[in-house]
Amino acid sequence: MSDSVLSIRNHQFFLGDQPFRVLSGAIHYFRVMPDAWPDRLAKLKACGFNTVETYVPWNLHEPKPGQFDYEGIANLFYFIELAQDAGLWVIIRPSPYICSEWEFGGLPAWLLNIPGMRLRCMNEAYLSCVDRYYDDLLPRFKPYLSTSGGPVIAMQIENEYGSYGNDHMYLSYLKKSMEDHGIDVLLLTSDGPTDRMLQGGTLPDVFKTANFGSRAAESFAKLREYEKQGPLMCTEFWNGWFDHWGEEHHTRPAKDVARVLDDMLKAGGSVNFYMFHGGTNFGFYSGANYADAYQPTVTSYDYDSLLDEAGHPTAKYVAVRNILAAYHEKPLPDVPVSEKAVSFGDVHFSEIAWLNQQLPHISKGVSSATPEPMEAFGQNYGFILYETSVLTKKELITLHMPDMHDRALVFINDVFQGTVERRLNQESLDVTLPGGKSTIRILVEHMGRVNYGPRLFDQKGLSGYVRLDYQHLYDWTVYPLPLDHLHQLRFSPYQTSVNDTLRPADTGNQNISGMPCFYRASFYVAAPADTYVDCRQLEKGVVFINGFNLGRYWSIGPQHTLYLPSSLLKKGDNELIIFELHPEPGQAASLINHSILS
């Protein structure tokens, strides 16, 4: 249908025969529960946008090699249909790599266990995996393309590739693959507004766009050096920012965002807000950055965007809507009313299960001469426990883990010795060996694979070797703990003893000092509604609601609550399971009606 095809003539977009300006906002379907997609899309339309943009994370759609998933929160094509129903055009950014503060930048973890693997380049091992993925994914877009009467008007090749490499043969390979699979809408690239990025990440015959958050005139001027004839477009207008654990929550004034938007529009530019609505990194899908040190991203992807994590319009929404209203001949639609969050009160733990006692039920030990990373055992996410025994005299000695990713808890005969954190550039710990035969257990938490920059190849767990002083330790039993089968846990009644030591009711005086545990509780909901799990009385761990992995919490902040969408609750009794890494007497959770990002 030629009247809905996006094309370029000189310095302007045309949709069919009519001049068109792309006014787009990013909503990632994979960060929002499906029942909320219509609401978020309607609010995008009501704000004055005509287009929605989304990435497509490879690791969500091919969780295991050759096994593809497009159901539930992965139902991208239903999201596209809803966008069309809402009167929106769609821009798709289909990977292989998406960055997006998403686990491994959207690349599947299983790539890391393939011999000879080199990422994002003309590497045969890598491209054979991309080919299989594209063979399944790309043909599915055909009926949704604007050339077939659908809403998809443009698709992106790779993502900010100039920030990573300069393999133009690789970019050309992806372009040809997309075209060979029937993608006949406008193709584009997006890169930061610097010479090196625009040189490395673009192709001569592909429309070029830039990503930036400020200095629009300067950024567009640099883009114009490389895109001589096309319209000016910012594919990622960074109107907010993301958060790392242990750092400040990022905010940006609404007036500043509105001012930069106005500058872009006055210059004739098109724009995609990154993000319009951030959503949530549910489960283990938060990524990480690595500058001078490892920086894991929090569960919330609030991003200080136009809609908050629960989909409520912010002051930034109002400011942007006022700007965009001036570019519409007709009044904008009314903004849909947002669902109010509800406080359901305190949740009391009634049962407990200690990790060391649950290993036979939730994992199968694997013998290994050396402590290999979790990818070697076919594990993508979660935790992994390494166990070995040593025969020594009583001594204080240093345990070395030089390639540990990302946070380790060390136990000697099930007594907690301390933590080692990659975030703090730590790689060793002084431990006390009691003498005789001692069992060393190292529980390693995967906290998100690096999603940006030169350290993408980020295997999790322990790699290569562990030493006591100068001596390498061998003969390990490894327990993968992806935590995706919690129904196999065997709980005991929960109680706190008179000496303030947490103990399962049926194990007497067994020493379990500092051992991680699973708490379980039931709570009643008369009518499901959005709420927030308040984790301020907990230390560090993961929350599961009715079997759904809600995400990580950590007392160091800035995030202290986990957003719990109403669709994950049911009328009547609901199950809460918390995997707490540092159990203490008196720990509890509650369900409150607001988020705490501070």
Provide the residue type at 117 as one letter.
M
Burial class for 327, CB neighbours closer than 10 Å (0-12, 13-18, 19+): exposed
Task: Give me the helix-helix angle, 254-266 and 315-325, nearest 10°.
Answer: 20
d(C-alpha 468, C-alpha 438), whole Å: 13
Q: Are strands 467-468 and 461-462 parallel, antiparallel or unpaired?
A: unpaired
Q: Are strands 288-290 and 294-296 parallel, antiparallel or unpaired?
A: antiparallel
**Contact of 298 with 286, CB cutoff 8 Å:** yes
7: tokens are 């094309």
Q: Are strands 152-156 and 89-93 parallel, antiparallel or unpaired?
A: parallel
The two three-digit tokens of residue 52, written as one number: 């929605």
- Domain map (residue ranges) of the chain: 2-325, 345-352+487-592, 370-474
- CATH no., domain 2-325: 3.20.20.80
Q: Which of 64, 60, 53, 58 shows the shortest CA–CA distance to 74?
A: 60
Could you say which of 1.10.490.10, 1.10.260.40, 1.10.760.10, 2.60.120.260 is the CATH number of the domain covering 370-474?
A: 2.60.120.260
**Number of Cβ within a 10 Å radius of residue 143:** 12
Kindly report, residue by residue over 211-242, the tens digit of the pLDDT.
999 999 999 999 999 999 899 999 999 999 99
Mean predicted confidence (pLDDT) in 131-151 = 98
6-41 residue pLDDT tens: 999 988 999 999 999 999 999 999 999 999 999 999
Note the pLDDT of residue 464.
Answer: 81
The CA distance from 173 to 465, in Å, is 38
Average pLDDT of span 98-116: 98
Is pLDDT of 499 > 70?
no
Residues 525-570: tens digit of each pLDDT? 999 999 999 999 999 999 999 999 999 999 999 999 999 999 999 9
Residue 527 contacts by C-beta under 8 Å, 6 or more apart in sequence? 571
Which residues is 91 bridged to in the sheet?
A: 53, 154
Kind plus residue range of the DSSP H or E element containing 13: strand 12-15
Residues assigned a catalytic role: 160, 236
Average pLDDT value for residue range 459-479: 96
How many whole angstroms separate alpha carbon 217 and alpha carbon 260? 9
Cis-peptide into 96, omega within 30 deg = yes
What is the rounded CA–CA span in Å between residue 494 and residue 505? 7
Q: Is the pLDDT of residue 506 over 90?
A: no
Give the contacts of 470 (CB within 8 A, at least 6 positions apart): none
Backbone angles phi, psi at 583, to 5 degrees: -65, 140
CB atoms closer than 10 angstroms to residue 1: 11
Quote the pLDDT of residue 512.
Answer: 53
Equal fold, 345-352+487-592 vs 370-474? yes
Residue 507 has pLDDT above 80, yes or no: no
The set of long-range contacts for 10-13, using a CB threshold of 8 Å and a minimum separation of 24, is 10/229, 11/229, 11/230, 11/231, 11/232, 11/268, 12/231, 12/268, 13/231, 13/270
Residue among 95, 85, 10, 26 at smallest CA distance from 57: 95
**pLDDT score recorded for residue 500:** 47
Class of domain 345-352+487-592: mainly beta
Question: Is there a contact between 38 and 336 (Cβ–Cβ < 8 Å)?
Answer: no
The total number of residues shown for the chain amounts to: 598
Q: Decide if pLDDT at 498 tops 50.
A: no
Residue with tokens 């090196």: 196
Taking all residues of the chain, what is their mean pLDDT, rounded to a whole number? 95
Higher-scoring residue by pLDDT: 63, 500: 63
Contact (CB, 8 A) for 483 and 577: no
Question: Rounded CA gap, 103 and 297, in Å?
Answer: 9
Query: Distance between CA atoms of 291 and 423, rounded to whole angstroms?
Result: 11
